[in-house]
Amino acid sequence: MSDHIPTGNTQRIKAGPRAVAILGSYGSGKTTLLESIAVITGACPRKGAVADGSSLGDSAPEARSRQMSTELNVLSTRFMGEDFTFLDCPGSIELAGETLGVLPGVDAAIVVAEPDPAKAALLQPMLRLLADKRVPHIIFVNKFDKARGAFRGLLAALQSASELPLLLRQIPIWEEGVAAGLVDLALERAHRWQAHAPSEVVDIADARKEKEARFQMLEKLADHDEHLMEELLGDVEPSRAEVFGDLAREFANGQVVPVLIGSAEGDNGIRRLLKALRHEVPDVSAAAACLGASRDHGAVVQVLKTMHGGHGGKQSLVRVLRGSLKEGQVLQGPAGREARIAGISSLVGNHALKRATAEEGDVVALAKLDPFVTGDML
């Protein structure tokens, strides 16, 4: 799915705009996660809530009345100088068509889980779909501040739902039976959560437990890296560059499914999730190659969703797979159909931000592409 990432290279090359789908069953907190990402990345000044109808996503009247996602929610934003578009897909099986239209054009997906082993089986269809479509994905266990019971039992239940091997990236810090933070096994750094604020870096309280969990993570990475396996057998500590190189490569290749934890309601663990996405999500070239988008045709876009309504009329949400777009440009589609772009916008919830151009990797709404439908490549 992507080129091998050299494990000895410590210099990270800035990636182009990336697109990440958010999936999960009803009640898992997908839209709350979108709200948290919007505030942390500065896309919104304050955090809304699904319960009182102030959320960035789920803004349609039907979604407000049902208090659930009934349509795709889109958030284009920036994190640490890099562009991302998050596409929050409805969790209801009756609305699976929204997800099917989106997945071909994304670089990765977040699967939002609840910390309840009994609900892990609900994720099986989504995890199978992502594996079949070869979309790299992370499991984010949300509401972890409310987690109860053995963490191992939850991981076992999630593994039963996933055809691909899970890779535990973080372990919880427990204080009086309540999750109060996490230990990042790649960085070997402990973070105590603070409500609606960046976490506090603290000393690792249980070094033995952290070392055991980290070794298990490295062992799983070594299944696809002979050099790392040799280092582990020789009791040699691998370099940080090698570990992070393997994490990015094996995630992009769909060889492992990382598991992270946090609480979107309290904005806990979200920055760690965003940093993992920034480092490990491949750029648009992998999705473009899977769809067969050639540079021979100049600009190439994939229609992810067709939207109707409002004064703007029909709009097409597209991913720019190759090249760049500008207003007035003519796009050609199947059966010789063509249309001229009447406007380009980035979407932040139901707010459209006008722009003059769109670059390779961007997700944008294009106006007046009347001849085209979801799934078309133009």
Residue 86, H or E segment: strand 82-88
Give me the pLDDT at residue 67, please. 46
Give me the pLDDT at residue 149, please. 81
At how many degrees (to 10) do helices 207-222 and 226-233 cross?
140
The DSSP bridge partners found for residue 86 are 20, 75
Give me the pLDDT at residue 315, please. 93
d(CA 226, CA 7) in angstroms, rounded, equals 12
E strands present in 262-324: 300-307, 315-322
d(CA 151, CA 163) in angstroms, rounded, equals 20
The encoded tokens of residue 153 equal: 């039992």
Give me the pLDDT at residue 301, please. 97
Instruction: Check if the beta carbon of residue 34 is closer than 8 Å to that of residue 57.
Output: yes
What distances in angstroms separate CA 127 from CA 93, 158, 284, 293, 306, one per listed residue? 14, 10, 21, 26, 25
Instruction: Check if the beta carbon of residue 70 is closer than 8 Å to that of residue 63.
Output: yes
Instruction: Check if the beta carbon of residue 199 is closer than 8 Å to that of residue 181.
Output: yes
Tens-of-pLDDT digits for all 378 residues of the chain? 333 333 334 455 677 999 999 999 989 999 999 999 999 999 998 887 766 666 686 555 554 455 445 589 999 999 999 999 999 998 766 667 788 999 999 999 999 999 999 999 999 999 999 999 999 999 999 999 999 888 999 999 999 999 999 999 999 999 999 999 999 999 999 999 999 999 999 999 999 999 999 999 999 999 999 999 999 999 999 999 999 999 999 999 999 999 999 999 999 999 999 999 999 999 999 999 999 998 887 899 999 999 986 556 789 999 999 999 999 999 999 989 999 999 999 999 989 999 999 999 999 999 999 999 999 999
Helix (H, G, I), strand (E, B) or coil at 279: helix
Give me the pLDDT at residue 7, please. 38
- Its pTM stands at 0.91
d(CA 186, CA 335) in angstroms, rounded, equals 50
d(CA 47, CA 58) in angstroms, rounded, equals 14
